[in-house]
């Protein structure tokens, strides 16, 4: 029997989607046209928000072990002394991490294997059609052609997505008429480990002349990028392509060294180049994220300048948003209308990323350090979306759930984090309780009868309040008042499976409002 979901593309986005579907109880088939994973670093940055997702998935430690903390940047501007700009993210659960893309894919592939799922390599999508009877997909792989009939197809197959093209989704936007070059090299200089280097000569009406070196985990190694010289540029400029141009010769070490010599204030010999390429940049956004039972995610939906390392992270978060919704629908636990919220929530995020990275790239070096949280993706919100009723305030439905430390649970000899409590694949209702948990116990019983094992109920009491833990209710003690400060002491909060807030309201209203929200907004059956 065919898997209910076919994922096309086994990069970070496709792997994350397959793993999340498996964690939510749905087995997917994942294919990739390449015979083997790319051995090159390509994308590097992993944002603090993506690390929170990876923690929920169960691979944060492996990602951290494979990476290097990006501590900030050394900014080199003409006529100015070097400035080391360090970002203090100590108030967040995670800082910014650098992990070469091949390592990210290795970690996710190993994680996916624990669910018994392995990407099928060398398999190409030849045809995709949808009729009243469902999807029909023709594949070609090492064993020849086959026809499969999945219930859903998700294209995670990059900027030149065969899935997007097969269903006729427009990919609107423009390309920069410039070529860039990339290289994985060693650099001999005195830059502290973990600092990126941005040597920038701003231009008035053109992208800046720049030399960017992003540190890799191996000591002394960097992925460097710069404008390509005339002899490497394509005859027609950047064209309409995007990303690494694998059909063209890459830059030589001398090409990269020439830019370093021109822009760096001190000699910095480059050596041991392991790979290089020519790179093009486009700004494009898919007109739709869905055509019937076919979805697209990641670079198949959105491409933009690499400023801030937002691309792969935005794609992985597409997958994280889609997976729990798709799993509920496949399992028959939610109405298919839930899937409409995927595009409604994620497309505005990509639109904002494209606008911001384009503006930042054109103005790089002309402004100060900027907002320290701008590229963390911590502020990504679905406020005002179909699953987040309109609200106002510092924390609202649609926002990311903030972590809280210093919580205690009766019988445990150690503190717990809110993120630890939220781990799982269902909804979690957080209810502040001042005196008795009797009403919360009744609410938990009602929710369990309606939707068995779909909603967990957590009562949060102040330090010194009753510690009795009724059946079906987990009681947390807010020993430091941190939960009350972050969430308030009268509001109840329903946390979605992707750890965004779905509903909030007075705790006294939860017994009626939460079931209504789950039926009407989510479509739970």
Residues 281-290 pLDDT 10s:
889 999 999 9
Burial of 388 by CB count in 10 Å (0-12 exposed, 13-18 middle, 19+ buried)? buried
Q: How far, in Å, CA of 171 to CA of 179, rounded?
A: 21
% of the chain at pLDDT higher than 70: 94
Domain presence at residue 476: yes
First-to-last alpha carbon distance for the chain, in angstroms, is 25
Assigned domain for 448 exists: yes
* pLDDT number for residue 41: 84
- Mean pLDDT computed over 259-268: 96
Taking the C-alpha atoms of residue 254 and residue 265, their distance in angstroms, rounded to an integer, is 18
CB 424 within 8 A of CB 410: no
pLDDT of residue 415: 94
Distances (CA, A) of 439 to 17, 422, 459, 507: 38, 21, 10, 10
Mean pLDDT, residues 240-244 taken together: 59
Q: Which positions ≥6 away from 382 have C-beta within 8 Å?
A: 345, 388, 398, 399, 500
| HEC assignment per residue over 489-512 | CCEEEEECCCCEEEEEEEHHHHHH
* Count of domains observed in the chain: 1
Residue 513 lies in a domain: yes
Structural domain includes residue 507 = yes
Contact 152, 292 (CB under 8 A): no
Domain presence at residue 179: no
- Per the structure block, which two tokens stand in for 111? 């994680």
Residues contacting residue 392 through CB under 8 Å, at least 6 positions apart: none
Q: Measure Cα distances from 286 to 71, 159, 283 in Å.
A: 34, 10, 10
Within a domain: 444: yes
- The CATH number that applies at residue 420 is 3.40.30.120
User: Is the residue at 469 inside a domain?
Assistant: yes
Give the range among 98-102, 249-253, 336-340 with minimum mean pLDDT. Answer: 249-253
CB atoms within 10 A of CB 39: 12
Range of the domain at 480: 407-522
Q: How far is 455 from 426, CA to CA, in rounded Å?
A: 6
* Mean pLDDT on 177-194: 93
Flag whether 246 is in a domain. no
Q: How far apart are CA 517 and CA 246, in angstroms?
A: 49
Residue 462 has pLDDT above 90, yes or no: no
Over range 316-338, report the average pLDDT: 98
């Amino acid at each position: 029997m065919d898997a209910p979901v076919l994922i096309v593309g086994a990069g970070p986005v496709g792997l994350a989607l397959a793993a999340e579907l498996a964690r939510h109880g749905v087995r997917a088939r994942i294919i990739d046209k390449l015979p083997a994973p790319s051995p090159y670093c390509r994308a590097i940055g992993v944002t603090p928000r993506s690390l929170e997702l990876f923690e929920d998935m169960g691979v944060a430690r492996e990602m951290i072990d494979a990476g290097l903390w990006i501590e900030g940047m050394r900014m080199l501007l003409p006529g100015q002394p070097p400035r080391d700009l360090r970002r203090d993210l100590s108030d967040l659960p995670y800082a910014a991490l650098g992990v070469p893309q091949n390592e990210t894919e290795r970690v996710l592939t190993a994680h996916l294997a624990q669910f018994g799922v392995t990407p099928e390599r060398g398999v190409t999508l030849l045809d995709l059609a949808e009729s009243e009877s469902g999807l029909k997909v023709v594949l070609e792989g090492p064993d020849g052609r086959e026809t499969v009939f999945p219930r859903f197809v998700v294209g995670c197959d990059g900027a030149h997505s065969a899935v997007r093209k097969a269903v006729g989704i427009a990919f609107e936007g423009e390309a920069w008429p410039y070529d860039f070059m990339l290289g994985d090299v060693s650099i001999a200089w005195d830059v502290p480990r973990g600092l990126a280097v941005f040597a920038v000569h701003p231009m008035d009406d053109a992208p800046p002349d720049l030399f960017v070196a992003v540190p890799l985990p191996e000591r002394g190694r960097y992925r460097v990028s710069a404008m390509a010289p005339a002899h490497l540029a394509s005859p027609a400029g950047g064209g309409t392509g995007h990303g690494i141009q694998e059909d063209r010769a890459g830059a030589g070490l001398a090409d990269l060294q020439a830019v370093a010599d021109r822009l760096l204030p001190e000699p910095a010999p480059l050596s041991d180049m392991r790979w290089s390429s020519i790179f093009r940049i486009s700004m494009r956004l898919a007109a739709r994220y869905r055509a019937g039972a076919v979805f697209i995610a990641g670079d198949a939906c959105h491409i933009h300048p690499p400023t801030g390392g937002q691309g792969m992270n935005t794609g992985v978060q597409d997958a994280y948003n889609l997976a729990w919704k798709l799993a509920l629908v496949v399992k028959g636990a939610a109405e298919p209308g839930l899937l409409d919220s995927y595009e409604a929530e994620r497309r505005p995020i990509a639109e904002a990323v494209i606008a911001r990275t384009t503006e930042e790239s054109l103005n790089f070096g002309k402004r100060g350090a900027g907002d320290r949280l701008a590229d963390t993706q911590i502020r990504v919100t679905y406020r005002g979306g179909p699953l987040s009723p309109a609200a106002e305030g510092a924390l609202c439905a649609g926002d990311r759930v903030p972590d809280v430390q210093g919580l205690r649970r009766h019988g445990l000899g150690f503190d717990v984090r809110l993120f630890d409590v939220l781990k799982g694949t269902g909804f979690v209702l957080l209810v502040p309780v001042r005196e008795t948990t009797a009403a919360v116990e009744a609410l938990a019983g009602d929710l369990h009868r309606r939707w068995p094992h779909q909603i967990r109920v957590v009562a949060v009491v102040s330090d010194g309040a009753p510690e009795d833990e009724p059946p079906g209710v987990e009681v947390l003690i807010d020993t430091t008042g941190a939960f009350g400060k972050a969430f308030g002491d009268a509001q109840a909060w329903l946390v979605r499976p992707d750890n965004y807030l779905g509903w909030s309201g007075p705790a006294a209203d939860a017994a009626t409002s939460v079931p209504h929200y789950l039926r009407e907004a989510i479509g739970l059956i």
